A = this chain, B = another copy of it.
Amino acid sequence: MTGTAKNWKLVVAYDGTDFHGWQMQPGLRTIQGELQEALGRVTGEAPLPQGSGRTDTGVHALAQVASFVLEAKIPAENLVLALNRTLPEAIRVVSAAQVPEGFHARHSTVAKTYEYRIFLERSRDGKNGTELSRLICPPFLARYVYPFPWPLDLDALKEAARHFLGTHNFLSFAATDPDLATRGTEAAVEDEDGVPQKNAVRTIFGSEWHRQETPDGPVLIYRVCGNGFLHHMVRNIVGTMLDAGRGYAPASTIPAMIAAQARSAAGPTAPARGLFLHSVEYGD
């Protein structure tokens, strides 16, 4: 960074449906690529914004954080307005701020929170499950929820969520990379940025379900906060909890799934479109 260059922190919301995830890829529409191009149009510079972590295709963000260095002198409010004028509406810059030189959106992360949203096509509470209209996921929600086709027991989901609290080895909930797997179990796990991890131990600070009414019907929301996540970890935890919620595998078996430290011991991967990066915490 030269003497005049400034380090920036951007908070960004996006609808991930029509993008190939966060990370720039040649010839594909990505959030990182769109942001870099927009910065280029606005400032004449095109630094590659570093995200707090990658998000996969179809995953959304309420408040992704990105950092980059700019030579241009531009007031923060003007940068926000100018970027939003040129970005597609599916990507919105929520705020921009100059930050100390040492700040890095990924390396400085202290905790991250994800949300997973489910539309209940059938519920166990009362007769709703027999009403045909309850079977239909409204088109205005379809991009932002997993329309779940089986009845779900909210109490079982809540019990399942509690088993993930605390510090565990999450190998059973990490996407396995076939290339890495041939080199042995220890290297077969990646973090959200595709970096091979020697260890899969992470701490979960919060893990809970709640039901929220929306103009288009009730949605079940899972919120999980941790000091870090492995690739696909939230979606694998959700898929496992949904097995418990529908009575397919009791919540009480989850500690054994964790202890097994094997992907095959846990449940399926929930679809990307229900997942939102909710917020990223820094030590500031």
Q: Which residues of B contact A60 (CB under 8 A)?
A: 139-140
B77 touches A136 (CB 8 A): no
Given A132-B80, A212-B215, are A139 and B14 also a contact pair (CB < 8 Å)? yes
Q: Which residues of B contact A138 (CB under 8 A)?
A: 13, 92
A90 touches B132 (CB 8 A): no
A15, A95, A212, A215, most chain B CB atoms within 10 A: A215
Answer whether residue A259 sits at the interface, using C-beta atoms and an 8 A cutoff. Answer: no
A93 touches B142 (CB 8 A): no
B95 touches A137 (CB 8 A): no
Q: Which residues of B contact A132 (CB under 8 A)?
A: 77, 80, 95
Given A15-B139, A215-B214, are A133 and B94 also a contact pair (CB < 8 Å)? yes
How far apart are A113's CB and chain B's nearest CB, in angstroms? 16
A81 touches B135 (CB 8 A): yes
Given A77-B132, A132-B77, A132-B80, are A92 and B214 also a contact pair (CB < 8 Å)? no
A81, A132, A214, most chain B CB atoms within 10 A: A132
B214 touches A13 (CB 8 A): no
Task: Please report which residues of chain A, range 16-68, place their CB below 8 angstroms from some CB of chain B when the two chains form the complex.
Answer: 60
Answer whether residue A209 sits at the interface, using C-beta atoms and an 8 A cutoff. Answer: no
> How far apart are the CA atoms of A133 and B97 in the complex, in Å?
13
How far apart are A214's CB and chain B's nearest CB, in angstroms? 6
Could you tell me how many residues of chain A have their Cβ less than 8 Å away from some Cβ of chain B?
A: 28
Chain B residue with minimal CB distance to A96? B132
A89 touches B139 (CB 8 A): yes
Task: Please report which residues of chain A, range 139-195, place their CB below 8 angstroms from some CB of chain B when the two chains form the complex.
Answer: 139-140, 142, 144
Answer whether residue A91 sits at the interface, using C-beta atoms and an 8 A cutoff. Answer: yes
> How far apart are the CA atoms of A242 and B153 in the complex, in Å?
46
Task: Please report which residues of chain A, range 204-236, place their CB below 8 angstroms from some CB of chain B when the two chains form the complex.
Answer: 212, 214-215
How far apart are A196's CB and chain B's nearest CB, in angstroms? 33
How far apart are A218's CB and chain B's nearest CB, in angstroms? 12
Answer whether residue A84 sits at the interface, using C-beta atoms and an 8 A cutoff. Answer: yes
A92 touches B215 (CB 8 A): no
- Give the B-binding residues of A (Cβ under 8 A): 13-15, 60, 77, 80-81, 84, 89-95, 132-133, 135-140, 142, 144, 212, 214-215
- 12 inter-chain pairs at a CB distance below 8 angstroms, sorted by A residue, are A13-B138, A15-B142, A60-B140, A80-B132, A81-B135, A84-B136, A89-B142, A92-B136, A92-B137, A92-B142, A94-B133, A95-B133
Beyond the given A80-B135, A214-B215, please list 19 additional residue pairs across the A-B interface where CB-CB is below 8 A. Answer: A13-B138, A14-B139, A15-B139, A15-B140, A60-B139, A60-B140, A77-B132, A80-B132, A80-B136, A89-B137, A89-B139, A89-B142, A90-B139, A91-B139, A92-B136, A92-B137, A94-B133, A95-B132, A140-B144
